[in-house]
Amino acid sequence: MSITFARRVSSIMAIKNQKIQVVVSNFEIGAGKIGASEGPLALLDALKQLDLEFESPILLNNNSNSIGESNTPFCKHIFEIEKASNLLNSEIENQLSQNKFPLILSGDHSNAIGGISGVKNAYPDKRIGVIWVDAHADLHSPYTTPSGNMHGMPLAALISTDNMKFQKNQISEQESEAWNRLKSIGSKSIAPKIKPEDIVFIGIRDAEKEEWGLIEEFGIKTFEPHDIKEHGIFYAINNALKHLEPCDLIYVSFDVDSMDPSISIGTGTTSPDGLSFVEAEAVFKSFLNHPKLVAFEITEINPSLDQEGDKMANVVASLLNYGLK
């Protein structure tokens, strides 16, 4: 596959003098359902149909063939996730060292641990803001998780919290040691990677009390559906960027379940009252054009759950096409 993005992207990337590099991390076993490993390739196929031209994407192929039983029930498959996170971390750090812009297409949201860690290890002295466009907060730790699925834990790992105030699980020493290693992955063993006050949630609407507790404790900025309905999507976008003005760099992670289930039908954890297609277009256009953007991640497309074939991948391809014009 041949990708340059030159025709579409030169207008927005010329500011930073960077070339977009697509990085595919198809790791999926942080989720509770199989199928998300096929999402990145389905999206690449959909982008081809739109006649977007790329340089050859980097395919990490770090997926496991099974999400069966795990011997770490409160952080399922954490050893595999640690390996996958280190692999993605190294690749993102490498791409940034070459002054390239990583467009990360990932399986499940646990991949964000590797993606954001790679940015921090490439720029250890920079303050990184994270815009988390998602129905969920993903702020659980092994000590608080109701499921053990690690796609619900990436932000907790990245801000290096156990959230012991809300502890309900007694985890094993093996789990504790692996969790602590995950917090500090990367060539420079940095932990935490980001400050909690440098996270902004857009579209959040399905979080547990343990996660809301952290949001309240740290004053994490949130834009819930009622905020967007009352004030409009650009209220959320503009205020998110204003909140992150002290940050040097911005990483955007877009989980497709941030969109309403009427659109986001090919993903594992849908939630009602999500973003409309037009609102998602505004998110892509605004953030892909921002000069502080250092990387953009798209995650949780699951073709095996898509009852309309590749609708989910086609929707996201249209969003990217719009955002990169």
3-state secondary structure 164-223: HHHCCCCCCHHHHHHHHHHHCCCCCCCCCCCCHHHEEEECCCCCCHHHHHHHHHHCCEEE
d(C-alpha 291, C-alpha 115), whole Å? 19
Q: Does pLDDT of 10 surpass 50?
A: no
CA dist., res. 210 & res. 221, Å (int): 16
How far apart, in whole angstroms, are the C-alpha atoms of residue 93 and residue 138?
23
Distances, alpha carbon 142 to alpha carbons 8, 154, 208, in Å:
42, 11, 14
| Mean pLDDT of the residues in the chain | 92
* Per-residue model confidence (pLDDT) at position 220: 98
**Of residues 293 and 51, more confidently modeled:** 293
Distance CA 79, CA 126 (A): 29
Tokens linked to 280: 């998602």
**Structure confidence at residue 52 (pLDDT):** 72
Token pair for 301: 């497309």
pLDDT tens figures, 122-167:
999 999 999 999 999 999 999 999 999 999 999 999 999 999 999 9
- Using the predicted structure, report yes or no on whether residue 308 has a pLDDT greater than 60: yes
Structural domains of the chain, with CATH? 6-324 (3.40.800.10)
- Cβ atoms 22, 298 nearer than 8 A: no
Q: Give, as one character, the DSSP assignment of residue 99.
A: T
- Average pLDDT over every residue of 157-185: 98
79 pLDDT more than 60: yes
Phi, psi dihedrals of residue 93, rounded to the nearest 5°: -60, -40
**What does pTM read for this prediction?**
0.94
Measuring CA to CA, which residue among 1, 6, 3 is closest to residue 53? 3
| DSSP assignment string, 23-38 | EEE---TTSSSS-GGG
Tens-digit pLDDT profile for residues 240-256: 999 999 999 999 999 99
Both tokens of residue 286?
Answer: 């605004």
- Phi and psi based region of residue 25 (left: phi greater than 0; alpha: psi -120 to 50; beta: remaining): beta
DSSP state of 275: B
Helices 112-122 and 78-97: crossing angle in degrees, nearest 10, is: 40
pLDDT at 260 over 50: yes
Residue 253: strand pairing partners:
132, 297
Share of the chain above pLDDT 90, in %: 84
Q: Which one is predicted more confidently, 4 or 120?
A: 120
pLDDT tens-digit profile of 81-108?
999 999 999 999 999 999 999 999 999 9
